[in-house]
Amino acid sequence: MAQVKICGLKTGEAIETAIMHGADYIGLVHFAKSPRHVELPRAAELAEQARGRVKIVLLLVNPGTSLVDEATRIVAPDFIQLHGHETPEDVQAIRLRASLPVIKAVKVETVRDVEQAKGFDRVADMLLFDAKPPENAVLPGGNGIPFDWSVLKGFNTDRDYMLSGGLDPQSVKAAIEATGAPVVDVSSGVESAPGVKDLQKIEAFLKAARS
């Protein structure tokens, strides 16, 4: 059975709904351009609400060392998720600096993108396959765009990976069946508007993923 990450949570009510219906991970986004952005003090409050109940993931985009230090000190997440243009060297340096496991998001459109992801396999604790954003997109992820799951066929890794990109309550079951993904990740697919989580959609997504 696939595990589930609900990302981009901003309210205690959404976190409670995710936990109550069986989420394994919750994601907090610290990226000012995102409609799901939360400041670090607020992320810390939400993290405390979830701590010990689910795994807490803090999403950062191309963070400098000062932000890595501040974020890990204030929020104390279980994982850092890197969703920018970080290189394998960046991932390794951030992982060592934070002393935390790192999830590296990889933007996917073709089989070649999946092959290039192998460069992160030894430095990241987990990979997250997300759809490649449109050109000139403001957001590096959370755009509600799926990708062709067949490009993951034949991808082998000793580590778990997450599948993201346009998943919603209607598509998640088929995505799991098609890819065998051990973890699925959703953000915009359980929203009523950008950054506004729909509690009924969170519940429906988790039920569909578990089925």
Contact present, 166 and 186 (Cβ < 8 Å): no
pLDDT, residue 27, reads 98
Q: What angle do CA 77, 15, 201 make, to 5 degrees?
A: 130
- Give the distance, in angstroms, between the CA of residue 22 and the centroid of all CA atoms in the same chain: 16
Query: Is 90 marked active-site?
Result: no
- Give the distance, in angstroms, between the CA of residue 126 and the centroid of all CA atoms in the same chain: 10
> Sign of the C-alpha dihedral, residues 91, 3, 151, 33?
negative
Query: Is 130 marked active-site?
Result: yes
Contact present, 79 and 55 (Cβ < 8 Å): yes
DSSP class of 134:
P
* Tens-digit pLDDT string for the chain (211 aa): 899 999 999 999 999 999 999 999 999 999 999 999 999 999 999 999 999 999 999 999 999 999 999 999 999 999 999 999 999 999 999 999 999 999 999 988 888 888 888 889 889 999 999 988 756 655 554 556 778 888 887 777 777 899 998 899 999 999 999 888 999 999 999 999 999 999 999 999 999 998 8
pLDDT, residue 6, reads 98
| Structure tokens, 144 | 């509600």
Q: What is the CA radius of gyration of the chain?
A: 16
Q: How many Cβ atoms sit within 10 Å of the Cβ of residue 143?
A: 18
The residues, ordered by sequence, that sit 6+ positions from 96 with a Cβ below 8 Å of its Cβ are: none
Contact present, 166 and 149 (Cβ < 8 Å): no
> What domains, with CATH codes, occur in the chain?
3-210 (3.20.20.70)
Catalytic residue of the set 90, 130, 160, 168 = 130
Length of the chain: 211
The residues, ordered by sequence, that sit 6+ positions from 1 with a Cβ below 8 Å of its Cβ are: 210
